[in-house]
Amino acid sequence: MADIIHLLPDAIANQIAAGEVVQRPASVVKELMENSVDAGAKRIQVIIKEAGRSLIQVVDDGSGMSETDARMSLERHATSKIRKADDLFTLRTMGFRGEALASIAAVSQFEMKTRQADKELGTLLVVEGSEVRRQEPTAAEKGTSIAVKNLFYNIPARRNFLKSNPVEMRHIVDDFQRIALAHPELSFSLVHGDELLYDLEPSKLAQRIVGLFGKNYQQQLAPCSEETDLMSVTGYIGKPESAKRTRGEQFIFVNERFIRNNYLNHAVAGAYENLLPEGTFPFYVLFITIDPKHIDVNVHPTKTEIKFDDERAVYAVVRAAVRQALGAHNLSPTLDYTTDINLMTKVSQTQALSREQYLDEQLGSGLQRSNLQNWEKLFEEERPAQSALFGQAELAASERTSMVPVPNRVPVFQLPSGHLVRPAKNGVMIIHPVAAHERVLYESFLRKMKDRSGSTLQSLFPQTITLGTADFTLVMEMEREIKALGFEFEAFGKNTLVVTGMPAEATGKNEKELFEGLLEQFKHNQATLTVPLQDNLARSLARRAAVKMGQALSSEEMESLVERLLASHNPNYSPDGSTTFFIFETSKIETHFR
């Protein structure tokens, strides 16, 4: 039998390697920027077109390469960073595997210009799919310029799997931000198409954070610093009240290399224990400096995973550093002596009050008092002064309804827990108001985006919103869809919007909080779900515009919500699959009385 095992051609081997190293345009940006940092560059420029599909160019003023080195850099496992195995345990550079350039050149039309400072001429290399098409001397600036054109042009399946331009651009901005944070002493710029997104001059870390994420962060930062014999931790943490509902602004660097490590993220979260609202995540930029012999960065080609020889010790130091920073800046919780810890103590303090006065004090503005009135006035009509469920058209209709008796009207009540109760044919229907409202709003928003018929409630006082560059770019990419929901807004200077109207269905919400909440929820869904853009927007706005659990609802609001739920296409479930209601059957009720 003939031999069947053979060596793969270099071009195919490089394409296979590219599968791990070059996952999307952002991977190319990361690898090229890290090479520029390793080359000693003081200024790094990144130029992007079509979110990296047609062009990714990184230009630096680093040391440059000789003609021989330029050609050798395109060979697999060719590197200037290490010479022997022991060098893996003393790494101080970002790159070291010698795979990135070979992998990138295997799946793109690749062009490199490079010149060393002591040479008059530089070198031009043009490569397509690992095949060198041109190599010649050329005039060039000191440093290296690499242009990656038509990424995945020779692997159509990989190109088809790329996400939309806003999604891919967001990944590029994420990697740009991480490298710019890691090296505030360097100058960085990022251009997308004709728009300059970032132009960062050398600065201190706090200034770099503000330059990347906006002036809003200026008042949110608290310095963090801790040093032990094993390691040191420095950086900044965000105040608890500035925490967001989506991840993405949590940065941990080890020896200036960005890493992903859930264990250390848990250490930071533990330090914030009892300080954060449920489901929120704090901002932090933390730098761990540790002897390279205590870590292994050769875990994955992307080099974002690191192993520590004593992970528990690192965990303890990180947690202690964040706790100390929170305490030093009065961000830790304080005892609240006004909280009702013991009901009997409260009662003893109010012996002079009558029962009615005490109940009015405790329940007068809460859900319980509202429900007490609902039960006592079961069949009375009450017009809501302000509705969280009704748009203006529904409010007008409810006014007309309240003037005319409705003989077949089915009453709806609200329990102290916030759940709604409605008689049903075979028992009692118990409705979760949040899930139900999300279902109703979700279907409404989808229709409005499809028909471009979103109704808008004009703001008396327009709200100004300043976003990070990535978020601003994302909003402008989705401008048409967001306006179809009912928002009205315009760009107002760099990374700033003025919101002049909001969806009529969101009556009672704060325009700024709702808009920012929509964006945060959209990014969260983007990271956890695979749904079309319009579906994601409808889900996101429904989640943020829906009533809150425990919110007291008027009779009209409750009845309208139930009617609209039962008229929806899928009344049984909210957009995320949660149950909206269930029937407690009469037969089950009877079993409790036998």
Does residue 377 carry a pLDDT above 60? no
Q: Can you give the residue ranges of every domain in the chain?
A: 10-202, 208-328, 384-594
- List b or e across 546-582, with b for residues whose CB sees 16 or more CB atoms inside 10 angstroms: bbeeebbbbbbbbbbbbebbeeeeebeebbeeeebbe
Give the three-class secondary structure for 552.
Answer: coil
**CB neighbour class for 335 (10 Å; exposed up to 12, middle 13-18, buried from 19):** exposed
Kindly write down the DSSP assignment for every residue of 492-510, as one continuous string.
-STTEEEEEEEEGGGTTS-
Each residue of 488-544: pLDDT tens digit?
Answer: 999 887 788 999 999 988 877 888 889 988 998 898 888 777 788 899 999 999 999
Does residue 253 carry a pLDDT above 90? yes
Residue with token string 């296409």:
569
Does residue 383 carry a pLDDT above 50? no
Per-residue confidence (pLDDT) for residue 90, from 0 to 100: 58
Strand ranges of the sheet holding 456-466, from the earlier edge strand across to the other edge:
456-466, 496-503, 488-491
Q: H or E element: which one contains 225?
A: strand 221-227
C-alpha distances out from residue 31 to 65, 81, 177, 243, 552, Å:
17, 14, 14, 31, 54
CA angle 366/369/374 to nearest 5° reads: 125
Here the tokens at position 532 are 């079309």
For 509, left (φ over 0), alpha (ψ -120 to 50), or beta?
Answer: beta
Name the pairing type of β-strands 284-290 and 250-254: parallel
Does residue 337 carry a pLDDT above 90? no
For residues 508 and 452, the answer to whether their CB atoms sit within 8 Å is no
For residues 173 and 473, the answer to whether their CB atoms sit within 8 Å is yes
Give the three-class secondary structure for 346.
Answer: helix
Confirm or reject CATH 3.30.565.10 for domain 10-202, answering yes or no. yes
For residues 543 and 561, the answer to whether their CB atoms sit within 8 Å is no
* Separation of alpha carbons 573 and 593, rounded Å: 31
**Domains 10-202 and 208-328 agree in fold:** no
Kindly write down the DSSP assignment for every residue of 117-140, as one continuous string.
TT-SSEEEEEEETTEEEEEEEE--
Residue with token string 């940092």:
37
Does residue 365 carry a pLDDT above 50? no
Q: Confidence class of residue 8 from pLDDT cuts 50, 70 and 90?
A: low
Q: Confidence class of residue 355 from pLDDT cuts 50, 70 and 90?
A: very low
Q: Confidence class of residue 237 from pLDDT cuts 50, 70 and 90?
A: very high
Which CATH number is correct for 208-328, 3.30.230.10, 3.30.2090.10, 3.90.105.10, 3.30.450.20? 3.30.230.10
Measure the N-to-C terminal CA separation of the chain; round to a whole number of Å: 82
Each residue of 424-440: pLDDT tens digit?
Answer: 888 889 999 999 999 99
Here the tokens at position 459 are 């703001």
Fold topology of 384-594: Ribosomal Protein S8; Chain: A, domain 1 (3.30.1370)
pTM reported for the whole predicted model: 0.67
Q: Confidence class of residue 201 from pLDDT cuts 50, 70 and 90?
A: very high
